[in-house]
């Protein structure tokens, strides 16, 4: 049975890279553990075919369950330059998440080393030798809670682990104790950086998920229309 391939939205088109709105449920890489009947092309393969571009380079990664802004470079040189910006923390990254569990604190910072747990998962530690750093604000949505998060670092599963650590695992993220839902409610919302002396700021609201598409969510999200201007903890 063939798996339907979605149309990928190009949010920003630069001569040297594109920024797409990655759907949830698509991996940035092929998944070798899946058999052919379950295998979907990687996001790179889908976009290359859709746009008739022979080569694109992955600059950073989003988890399969995460939707939102993903940069794909058109040249090796751009891939190297942009990857370096991520490594040197010169790219501001903001995410949205929804949880149906009340957090231990409504805003603040979550800081700690991360170490591998089991089954490919991670956990947050009290030590801070090379810590994951996540800043956040949250507000009630009536039965659920909206989080906006700023990543100071880019560790694997960082937000998923951080929100679990404060008692608010992401809705749909059953791997990290989240309640079952129609999707994992984590979305890469905004990227801001300077590239070749041009200030680039890209924002993309979620387009998938019943809890991301309610009128109340849209109303509350309007307070976070300029996340870089918030007084981050």
Q: How confident is the model at residue 83 (pLDDT cuts 50, 70, 90)?
A: very high
State residue 4's pLDDT score.
72
Please give the mean pLDDT across all residues of the chain: 94
Q: How confident is the model at residue 212 (pLDDT cuts 50, 70, 90)?
A: very high
Q: For residue range 118-132, list pLDDT tens digits in order.
A: 888 999 999 999 999
Buried b (16+ CB within 10 A) or exposed e, 133-149: bbbbbbeebeebbbbbb
Tell the residue number behind the tokens 């387009």, with chain if given.
Answer: 207
Predicted TM-score (pTM) of this structure: 0.94
Query: In this model, does residue 209 exceed pLDDT 90?
Result: yes
Rounded Cα distance between 150 and 232, Å, is: 8
Provide the phi-psi class of 108: left if phi over 0, else alpha when psi is between -120 and 50, else beta: left
Dihedral sign for Cα 111, 218, 50, 17, please: negative
Query: In this model, does residue 1 exceed pLDDT 50?
Result: no
Dihedral sign for Cα 46, 50, 55, 57, please: negative
Q: Please list the active-site residues.
A: 63
Query: In this model, does residue 34 exceed pLDDT 60?
Result: no
State residue 40's pLDDT score.
79
State residue 92's pLDDT score.
97
Q: For residue range 14-30, list pLDDT tens digits in order.
A: 999 999 999 999 999 87
Cβ distance 28 to 45 under 8 Å? no
The domains found in the chain, sorted by start residue, are 9-224 (3.30.2350.10)
| Eight-state DSSP code of residue 89 | T
């Amino acid at each position: 049975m063939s798996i339907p391939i979605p149309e990928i939205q190009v949010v920003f088109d630069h001569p040297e890279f594109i920024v797409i709105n990655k759907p949830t449920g698509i991996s940035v890489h092929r998944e070798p553990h899946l058999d052919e009947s379950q295998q979907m092309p990687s996001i790179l393969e889908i976009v290359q075919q859709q746009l008739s571009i022979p080569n694109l380079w992955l600059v950073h990664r989003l988890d399969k369950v995460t939707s939102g802004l993903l940069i794909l470079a058109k040249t090796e040189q751009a891939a190297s330059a942009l990857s370096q910006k991520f490594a040197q923390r010169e790219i501001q990254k903001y995410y949205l998440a929804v949880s149906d569990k009340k957090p231990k604190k409504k805003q603040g910072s979550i800081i700690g080393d991360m170490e591998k747990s089991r089954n490919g998962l991670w956990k947050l530690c009290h030590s801070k030798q090379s810590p994951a750093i996540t800043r956040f604000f949250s507000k009630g949505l009536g039965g659920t809670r909206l989080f906006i998060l700023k990543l100071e670092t880019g560790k694997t599963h960082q937000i998923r682990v951080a929100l679990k650590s404060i008692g608010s695992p992401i809705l749909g993220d059953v791997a990290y104790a989240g309640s079952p839902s129609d999707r994992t409610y984590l979305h890469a919302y905004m990227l801001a950086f300077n590239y070749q002396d041009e200030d680039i700021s890209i924002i993309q609201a979620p387009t998938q998920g019943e809890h991301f598409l309610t009128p109340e969510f849209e109303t509350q999200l309007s307070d976070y229309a300029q996340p870089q201007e918030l007084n981050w903890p």
